[in-house]
């Protein structure tokens, strides 16, 4: 499959929307994540609409809500905007409470179409790879980046893995599951993690 000029337009638009945004806890431009997710989608058989949605999967949530939704539809059409909608867990500011928002997103994935599951799983795979690499570098300090800390973060990704395995049993899900289990094993083996467990028992 060859990508058309639409994909290039989407890349420019995504870079424009996220130009001032960095990856959580670092100095990596956010566009690096979007490019990685699009690459995972294409490597797992995604079409151009799915790849464009991968570039824009956080645009509604992080960069403008409904106004951005309307612009995505105008530029790239209904198929793309529906996939991006399906990957969006909030489109208002401030966002709803974290736990309720994530539980609603998990429930939504239980009935989401395959295009949404593909882009969503690609997003979560790249996030998990980043978490695994960063945990190897900074250990338990990693969880300070997240409002819900270690327990909430691991609960969410564990729940996502369960949903993807039930609804989207593909090589992508197999890889996502493997990376999550690697992260869990690293956390369990960490001396800092063991110390935290000991303190919690007191």
How far apart are alpha carbons 70 and 106 in whole angstroms? 25
* Listed residue (83, 60, 58) closest to 70, CA to CA: 60
Cite the active site residues: 61-62
The span from the CA of 35 to the CA of 43, in Å, is 12
Among residues 181, 176, 147, the alpha carbon closest in space to that of 163 is found at 176
Quote the CA–CA distance of 182 and 117 in Å, as a whole number: 22
Residue 157 backbone class (left: φ over 0; alpha: ψ -120 to 50; beta: rest): alpha
Four-CA torsion 50, 178, 33, 58, nearest 10 degrees: 60
Distance set, CA 68 to CA 64, 88, 111 (Å): 5, 12, 24
């Amino acid at each position: 499959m060859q990508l058309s000029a639409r994909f290039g337009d989407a890349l420019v638009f995504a870079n424009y929307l996220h130009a001032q945004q960095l990856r959580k806890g670092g100095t990596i431009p956010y566009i690096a994540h979007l490019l990685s997710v699009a690459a995972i989608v294409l490597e797992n058989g995604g079409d151009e609409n799915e790849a464009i949605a991968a570039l824009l999967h956080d645009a509604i949530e992080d960069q403008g809500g409904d106004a951005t939704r309307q612009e995505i539809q105008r530029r790239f059409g209904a198929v793309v905007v529906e996939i991006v909608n399906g990957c969006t867990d909030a489109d208002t500011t401030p966002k709803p409470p974290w736990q309720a928002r994530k539980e609603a997103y998990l429930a939504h994935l239980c009935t989401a179409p395959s295009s949404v599951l593909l882009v969503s799983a690609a997003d979560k795979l790249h996030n998990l790879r980043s978490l695994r690499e960063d945990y190897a570098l900074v250990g338990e300090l990693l969880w300070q980046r997240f409002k819900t800390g270690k327990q909430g973060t691991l609960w969410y990704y564990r729940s996502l893995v369960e949903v993807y395995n039930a609804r989207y049993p593909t090589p992508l899900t197999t890889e996502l599951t493997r990376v999550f289990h690697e992260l869990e094993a690293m956390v369990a083996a960490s001396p800092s993690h063991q110390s935290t467990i000991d303190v919690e028992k007191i």
